[in-house]
Amino acid sequence: MLFRTLLIITGAYNVLRFLLIAILLFTTISLSAQPYEINLSSKQANALGQLIWENEGQQKLQHLTSWNRGEDFPSLGLGHFIWYPNKEKGPFKEQFPALLTYFKKHGVTPPAWLSDLKFAPWKSREQFYTEFDDEALSQLRVFLSEHIDLQVKFVILRLENAIPLIIADCNKQQKKRVIANLSQLTSTTQGLFALLDYINFKGDGLSKLERYQGDGWGLKQVLLTMPEVYQDPLRIFGLAADEVLTRRVKNAPRDEFRWLKGWRVRIHAYQDIKIR
């Protein structure tokens, strides 16, 4: 990881010098609009992927294709990437078509029945589960289970692309807080997992459509909610995420309270994650 490598190389520097270097690097990234590079070994990336799959689908094959009650779209793959069934897109960012493009870019051909589809072929949750054990969805689950590695890389790429955009979307004072929080979280594999899991879970927080009563609930909002001084980044990240998600539920135009308990379990577990 970039910041960890810097810390080793500049071990004689004090904490302030390290933070200044981090700020300079992040500022350069935001100005150049280049993706922020996350360096993970294959073992680390696989471990992170398995944890994301555990959070999203209990690492069960059948949960690689699902359609939650109360939602207007299916959630597919390791990260429960959504796919809208028609051209009328909802407020949440669609990711599954981009994943299919990513597969093709890396020489992996998705099942043939997906090749000409612009929209999810199931028009309702009822239809989806009526056809759940049919050939198409069964084939899709097996395909997705065979390419977990590429799905992990897809999630990592999303974070790499989002970091400079989040920073660019902040005012001067907000930039300082976001950069400081990112430098702490990206200094450990556990912190990176929290960032990867949350952005996959609730987005980057940049879309104006992903707002209830003007308030977002993505990664940007969590980083800005974290206080300026603290000693345990993962615990504080979880507390900030709890505050942001609780506000989302209070602001929601429909009842989302039933999901809050599970969300809280997920985000407060970040501090107990063990990754080598």
Sheet holding 81-82, edge to edge: 65-66, 75-76, 81-82
CA distance 26 to 30: 6
DSSP bridge pairs for 212: 215
Enter the DSSP assignment of 211: -
Distance of CA 268 to the CA centre of its chain: 16
Nearest to 224 by CA among 210, 236, 214, 212: 236
Query: Mean pLDDT by 10-residue block, N- to C-terminus, for the chain (276 residues)?
Result: 39 39 41 67 82 83 93 93 91 93 96 93 97 97 94 93 96 95 92 92 94 97 91 95 98 93 94 79
The pLDDT value recorded for residue 34 is 63
The pLDDT value recorded for residue 89 is 86
The pLDDT value recorded for residue 119 is 95
The pLDDT value recorded for residue 243 is 98
The pLDDT value recorded for residue 116 is 87
Locate the domains of the chain by residue range: 2-35+159-272, 42-149
Structure tokens at 80: 């429960």
CA distance 15 to 7: 9
Distance of CA 61 to the CA centre of its chain: 20
The pLDDT value recorded for residue 249 is 97
The pLDDT value recorded for residue 75 is 95
